[in-house]
């Protein structure tokens, strides 16, 4: 396939400005002059980018069981609502009295988040889950600083946590202390008791964890932390698994974030925008970012008068279009529908577990939550790895699951079907995975060289890392 520059022919024009804007000489002071840009016609541009789009794979193209990122379907009604003129054209510099409809959407979304989490303090301001995570730890830091408790320097992080947790703790100036898992995949309580002391800021607990396991000791974990004056932070990336069934606030959680793309079907990927809602207890709510959206009578206001706030963490009030999508999703499903999201996410993952257990090794036995983690132990005897299995899946028109994560499982394959997928799709995926396992026995070399049917064949990952060739993603192939 040619690059857009290779298609360039001098003199071709892809668009023309209307004459009503003025002549070329009149516009010369407003333009950037000569650009080293390709000269192509409109139809060339359309065909080029349409062809490029067909080379990409997304959840609209097929099954995308990426566990660590929850690649769930984005209902098109969400997009319709976010494109609705009063929402799409809303300008953040408008005064609050002229923004009542938009503020009402945000306020009501806050109220829904309070119900879902069981936590009264809500901020929609963070721009992504990782950003919400950072904001949450900032709240913890502000809490201890206000109490003049300066001896707290470390945050406990289970070895089954999400990878962003240590980075977040470090960015806030804290030491990261890893807590191992026990044989069941849950936090080792004996080790945690040894590590949790008066120097502990809190613990960042992913629940359900990255093994797809709900830690049955969550109340005891909370009790241990609170007994030392520390806080429980919940990484809410896996909230999809417990949505409508259990509230984090009832489990002793002090602060958490929610990835709106994982739980409430807002777009994911491409560098954003995103949403990282933060929820916290009353005690921590005084530290939430400003402005705070509040309701007085029938009017909605932006309140900056919170002296202990950590301040702004985002320009204006976050990504409004993303929040409008999440709001639409919640309204569309209602209370009972929201619970069914969690139920079907868990059912689908356990169906995959039941169908593939035995064919692929399951390091942790028993029921899982929203995702199931296998590894390549059964296929390794044929010199077939998790990478080979993932690449071969592409030949069958399905995206690979998350691989080699969590790190505590060697050769991990983290599979998350979400509530999006039907039994027919899941059966097709399982049939293909079983077939790939048979191929590992009969033709391992073919798997080692896969994919065979994609536009780009397998690259030399080591060479690519050591000698990267950087190209422009906008106009080059």
What residues contact 308, with CB distance under 8 A and at least 6 apart? 142, 146, 286, 287
CATH of domain 342-466: 3.90.1150.10
The domain limits of the chain are: 77-332, 342-466
* pLDDT tens figures, 402-460: 999 999 999 999 999 999 999 999 999 999 999 999 999 999 999 999 999 998 888 88
Beta strands in 121-254 (DSSP E): 121-123, 154-158, 175-179, 200-206, 231-235
Mean predicted lDDT score pLDDT of the chain: 92
Please determine, for residue 474, whether its predicted confidence score (pLDDT) is greater than 60. Answer: no
CA-based torsion, 259, 260, 266, 271: positive or negative: negative
* pLDDT tens figures, 177-201: 999 999 999 999 999 999 999 999 9
Q: What is the pLDDT of residue 28?
A: 63
* pLDDT tens figures, 337-391: 999 999 999 999 999 999 999 999 999 999 999 999 999 999 999 999 999 999 9
Please determine, for residue 130, whether its predicted confidence score (pLDDT) is greater than 70. Answer: yes
Token duo for residue 169: 């703790």
CA dist list (Å): 400 to 259, 268, 403, 442, 475 = 22, 17, 8, 21, 27
* pLDDT tens figures, 11-60: 898 877 677 666 666 666 666 667 788 999 999 999 999 999 888 888 88
Gap between the terminal Cα atoms of the chain:
7
CATH topology of domain 77-332: 3.40.640
Please determine, for residue 108, whether its predicted confidence score (pLDDT) is greater than 70. Answer: yes
Phi/psi region, residue 236 (left: phi>0; alpha: psi -120 to 50; beta: rest), is alpha
Q: Distance between CA atoms of 348 and 390, rounded to whole angstroms?
A: 20
Please determine, for residue 473, whether its predicted confidence score (pLDDT) is greater than 60. Answer: no
Give the mean model confidence (pLDDT) for residues 54-83. 90
Q: Distance between CA atoms of 279 and 116, rounded to whole angstroms?
A: 10
Question: Could you tell me what percent of the chain has a pLDDT over 90?
Answer: 80
């Amino acid at each position: 396939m040619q690059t857009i520059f290779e298609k360039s022919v001098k003199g071709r024009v892809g668009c023309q400005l209307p004459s009503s804007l003025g002549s070329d000489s009149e516009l010369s002071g407003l333009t950037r002059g000569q650009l080293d840009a390709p000269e192509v016609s409109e139809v060339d541009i359309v065909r080029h980018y349409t062809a490029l789009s067909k080379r990409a794979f997304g959840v609209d193209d097929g099954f995308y069981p990426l566990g660590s990122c929850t690649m769930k379907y984005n209902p098109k009604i969400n997009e319709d609502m976010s494109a609705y003129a009063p929402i799409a054209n809303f300008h953040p510099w408008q005064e609050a009295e002229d923004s009542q409809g938009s503020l009402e959407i945000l306020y009501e979304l806050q109220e829904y988040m309070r119900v879902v989490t069981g936590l009264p303090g809500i901020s929609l301001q963070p721009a992504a889950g990782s950003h919400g995570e950072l904001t949450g730890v900032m709240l913890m830091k502000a809490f201890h600083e206000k109490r003049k408790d300066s001896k707290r320097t470390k945050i406990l992080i289970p070895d089954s946590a999400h990878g962003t947790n240590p980075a977040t703790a470090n960015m806030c100036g804290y030491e990261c202390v890893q807590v191992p898992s026990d044989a069941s995949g849950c936090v080792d309580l004996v080790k945690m008791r040894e590590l949790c002391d008066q120097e502990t800021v809190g613990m960042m607990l992913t629940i359900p964890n990255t093994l797809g396991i709900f830690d049955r000791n969550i109340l005891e974990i909370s009790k241990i932390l609170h007994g030392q004056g520390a806080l429980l932070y919940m990484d809410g990336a896996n909230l999809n698994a417990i949505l409508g069934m259990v509230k984090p606030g009832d489990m002793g959680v002090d602060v958490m974030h929610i990835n709106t793309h994982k739980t409430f079907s807002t777009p994911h990927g491409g560098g954003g925008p995103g949403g990282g809602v933060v929820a916290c207890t009353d005690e921590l709510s005084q530290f939430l970012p400003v402005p705070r959206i509040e309701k007085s009578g029938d009017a909605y206001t932006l309140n900056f008068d919170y002296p202990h706030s950590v301040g702004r963490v985002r320009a204006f009030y976050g990504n409004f279009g993303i929040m409008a999508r999440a709001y639409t999703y919640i309204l569309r499903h209602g209370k009972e529908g929201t619970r069914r999201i969690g139920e079907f996410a868990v059912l689908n993952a356990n169906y995959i577990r039941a169908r593939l257990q035995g064919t692929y090794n399951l390091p942790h036995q028993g029921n899982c939550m929203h995702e199931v983690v296998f590894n390549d132990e059964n296929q390794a005897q044929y010199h077939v790895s998790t990478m080979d299995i993932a690449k071969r899946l592409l030949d069958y028109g399905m995206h690979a699951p998350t691989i080699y994560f969590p790190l505590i499982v060697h050769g991990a394959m983290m599979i998350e079907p979400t509530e999006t997928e039907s039994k027919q799709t899941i059966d097709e995926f399982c049939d293909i995975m079983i077939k790939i396992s048979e191929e590992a026995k009969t033709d391992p070399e073919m798997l080692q060289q896969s994919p065979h049917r994609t536009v780009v064949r397998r690259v030399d990952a080591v060479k690519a890392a050591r000698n990267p060739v950087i190209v422009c993603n906008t106009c080059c192939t």
